[in-house]
Amino acid sequence: MSRTDLRSLLSSRKWLLADGATGTNLFTMGLESGEPPEFWTTGRPDDIRALHQGFVDAGSDIILTNTFGCNRHRLKLHKAESRVPELNEKAARIAGDVAEAADRPVVVAGSVGPTGEIFEPAGTLPYDEGVEAFAEQIAALVAGGVDVIWIETMSAEEEVRAAVEAARRVAPDLPVVATMSFDTAGRTMMGVTPVRCVELGKELGLDAVGSNCGTGAPDLLAGILEMTSADPDFVIVAKANAGVPEFVDGEIHYSGTVEMAGAYARMALDAGARIIGGCCGNTFEHVKAMHDALVGYQGGPRPTIEQITEKLGPLTQGGQKSGCAHGCAHGAGEGGTEGEGRPRRRRRRRG
């Protein structure tokens, strides 16, 4: 099947299905705690190919490359900052091979996660250095043939701006999507609200904005309601965790069942999201449940918070802080110390 682009699919479809978790699924394949998932792109490429294939088989229209932490700042924790071009281009090509072999159009999204640094003036990373780091990564993703630049799990407005500036510099014609992670009290760790996320997306001319990771699906959907209220016509992305993580016998298990995944997908669509998928804890089975729930679904009324919590469980906003695979499975590649005397925000990793 010939490749397509995000804009073409959005113009012809009511909804698109994104993929699920990277890190937590790789753990089931043998990824060790502290091991960067990005190293599997060259060390275990067949497993990365199988990850993408599993989501395509489950019905995903969009698959994200295994490059969430593949910028120089994250890779330097493993003395691998010189591998940014190699790992990003290879990851894009692996995902591209899976997409091209599919029997329907599948979009390859180049995953661009945070640097793990706090930008000036609150932190120590100069804005221009952030742009350069993102540009290096995005250039390699583009060389590998991605169809869209997918900036994700962001907390700070200035970091989104830096990533978008890099994308425009390197690939001015490619679609750009940005999602943020809303943790406690319905804000990102750096204080950005869902409504401000939409405003920022419109200001920067993005193709879509949205929410991924953070807490569980109820909290994420509450944020999606705010986003779609701010602008019902803007394309919104919902990629929720599969419930909340719990430690059972020393391992992380997510509370969200496969059955709940289908209910979440329908509620996300009814809340106004156009691109729906999963983040931490979402397996192939969860994504297939989303697909099966959405196919043929004619839509329902806009859900209320009460209806969301009745079906998916209570909100955690204002209560416990999220513990998720961006800090656990997403944090599989953290390693090393945070650095003395330098403000650093909690590292996160998609999946």
* Pairing mode of beta strands 148-154, 107-112: parallel
What pLDDT is recorded for position 339?
30
What is the count of structural domains for the chain? 1
> pLDDT of 185-216, one tens digit each?
899 999 999 999 999 999 999 999 999 998 89
259-295 burial, b at 16+ Cβ within 10 Å, e below that, comes to: ebbbbbbbbbbbbbbbbbbbbbbbbbebbbbbbbbbe
> What is the Cα–Cα distance from 242 to 217, expressed in whole angstroms?
7
What pLDDT is recorded for position 252?
72
What pLDDT is recorded for position 317?
64
Owning domain of residue 229: 6-333
Task: Flag whether 186 is in a domain.
Answer: yes
What pLDDT is recorded for position 256?
81
What pLDDT is recorded for position 254?
81
What pLDDT is recorded for position 136?
98
DSSP letter string, 39-53: GHHHHSHHHHHHHHH
Task: Flag whether 229 is in a domain.
Answer: yes
Task: Flag whether 345 is in a domain.
Answer: no
What pLDDT is recorded for position 245?
73
Q: Is 119 helix (H, G, I), strand (E, B) or coil?
A: strand
What pLDDT is recorded for position 344?
35
Q: Is 295 helix (H, G, I), strand (E, B) or coil?
A: coil
Task: Flag whether 246 is in a domain.
Answer: yes
Task: Flag whether 348 is in a domain.
Answer: no
* Pairing mode of beta strands 16-17, 275-278: parallel
What pLDDT is recorded for position 183?
85
Task: Flag whether 346 is in a domain.
Answer: no
> pLDDT of 152-193, one tens digit each?
999 999 999 999 999 999 999 999 999 999 986 899 999 999
Task: Flag whether 146 is in a domain.
Answer: yes
What are the tokens at 47? Answer: 């497993």
- What is the domain-level CATH number for residue 165? 3.20.20.330
Cβ–Cβ < 8 Å for 34, 335: yes
pTM of the model: 0.91
Segments of the chain with pLDDT less than 70: 1-2, 184, 250-251, 317-351
Task: Flag whether 351 is in a domain.
Answer: no
